[in-house]
Amino acid sequence: MFIYPLLVALLISYLMVPQVKRLAFSLGAVDKPNKRRINVKPIPSLGGIAIYLGVLFALISTGFGSEFLGIIVGGTLIVILGILDDLYELSAIVKLLGQIVAGLVLIGFDARIEFISNPFGGIYYLGLLGIPITLIWIVGVMNTINLIDGMDGLAGGVTVIAAATLAIFAYQKGQVLTIILALSVIGATLGFLKYNFNPAEIFMGDTGSMFLGFMLGSISIIGTLKSVTAITLLIPLLALGVPIFDTLFAILRRKLSGQPIFKADKGHLHHKLLELGLSQVQAVTIIYLVSIFLGMVAIGISEADLNQLIFLTTSSIGFILLGAIKLGVFNAEANYINDNNLVK
């Protein structure tokens, strides 16, 4: 049963990418080399459309259509927003407003963080407070995936690893709908990655990065974050550890240098790995391995006692911080780019 949505999503996405490439060229949705991008020739964007269609067909074909309606509607709005951004480079505020609307649609279909469980006993119902908390999470995850989409195969591969981590946790808890969602995302992303590994034939664009962020945020809410405990809160945080930490490092770096947090720069993890002389493939592979490590820690935490939880969490965060310091991601002298439309 579970393999079916994965295969459907993979097949649809794989078959649609060539069609989307032609569409992108015809619409002029092409990423040309510039100071922010590292591609050396024009590459068609809008690849996220193929990912979206793969996920959409997989979810509809499972027979759980009504259960996924909020995610489908919200995801569709995000894809429309992404297409407009890839074509016309929307301002940051317009994109943020669009993301908020999509998040509110999801919440309107009762997908939200409802209460917090005290590990020492007791439950705190969030009530209306659950709406802004859920919204912040959804919008935050969308932007972290968008932020890390800077090298061939990077955002897609990190998404597959994160979704696989969430799928394993959902399987342990018997959460069927969450497993189907995660496998649909994995399949659609793998179908796209065939064309996106270095040297990439097509980019997912903001259409893809925001949609994948929306899906990962939704999966974690429906699965691990529907009710938050001290342990389950860490599962999606670690599963999405690389893009989340990269985003936090970028915010801190820009604050230290007196720059607006929306100011694009070339101080991200993947930029620093390239500065070491690594190829794109080598840099992406290292980030994949770090993501897999954090995913394994997340799965280990799900069965850990309090002492093990503290050890695994603190050692993982320490590992990431040490690596970031060594790479110089907090360097306030990072190359800043004059681009008011996009945070990268």
Domain residue spans of the chain: 2-341
Question: Is 149 marked as binding a ligand?
Answer: no
Q: Which two tokens stand for residue 332?
A: 């306030």
Q: Which helix (H) or strand (E) holds 31?
A: strand 30-31
> What pairing do the DSSP bridges indicate for beta strands 30-31 and 227-228?
unpaired
Q: Which helix (H) or strand (E) holds 43?
A: strand 43-44
Determine the Cα–Cα distance for residues 342 and 344; give it in Å rounded to an integer: 6
Residue 115's DSSP bridge partners are 125, 227
Question: Is 339 marked as binding a ligand?
Answer: no
* Residue pLDDT tens, the chain, 344 long: 689 999 999 999 999 999 999 999 999 999 877 655 565 678 999 999 999 999 999 999 987 767 799 999 999 999 999 999 999 999 989 999 999 999 999 999 988 888 776 555 566 777 888 899 999 999 999 999 998 988 999 999 999 999 999 999 889 888 899 999 999 999 999 999 999 998 999 999 999 999 999 999 999 888 766 655 556 667 888 888 889 998 888 888 888 777 777 677 777 888 888 888 899 999 999 999 999 999 999 888 877 777 888 888 889 889 889 988 888 887 766 565 554 444 44
Sign of CA dihedral 104, 108, 110, 115: positive
Q: What is the pLDDT at residue 189?
A: 98
Q: Which two tokens stand for residue 3?
A: 């393999």
Give whole-number Cα distances, 14 to 19, 20, 25, 175, 184, in Å. Answer: 10, 10, 18, 27, 13
With contact defined as beta carbons under 8 Å apart, do 236 and 224 qualify?
yes
Alpha-carbon dihedral 224, 237, 114, 306, rounded to 10 degrees: 80
Q: Which two tokens stand for residue 23?
A: 């569409």
Q: CB-based burial of residue 27 (10 Å sphere; 0-12 exposed, 13-18 middle, 19+ buried)? A: middle
Residue type, 81: L
Q: For the chain, how far is it from start to end, CA to CA, in angstroms?
A: 39
Q: What is the pLDDT at residue 37?
A: 59
With contact defined as beta carbons under 8 Å apart, do 160 and 42 qualify?
no
Determine the Cα–Cα distance for residues 331 and 339; give it in Å rounded to an integer: 20
Closest among 254, 247, 200 to 37, alpha carbons compared:
200
Chain-centroid distance of CA 241 in Å reads 10
Give whole-number Cα distances, 124 to 12, 35, 109, 223, 302, in Å. Answer: 43, 48, 22, 18, 21
Q: Which two tokens stand for residue 40?
A: 């050396």
Q: What is the pLDDT at residue 226?
A: 60
DSSP 144-213: HHHHH--STTHHHHHHHHHHHHHHHHHHHHT-HHHHHHHHHHHHHHHHHHHHHSSSPS---HHHHHHHHH
Q: Which helix (H) or strand (E) holds 19?
A: helix 3-27
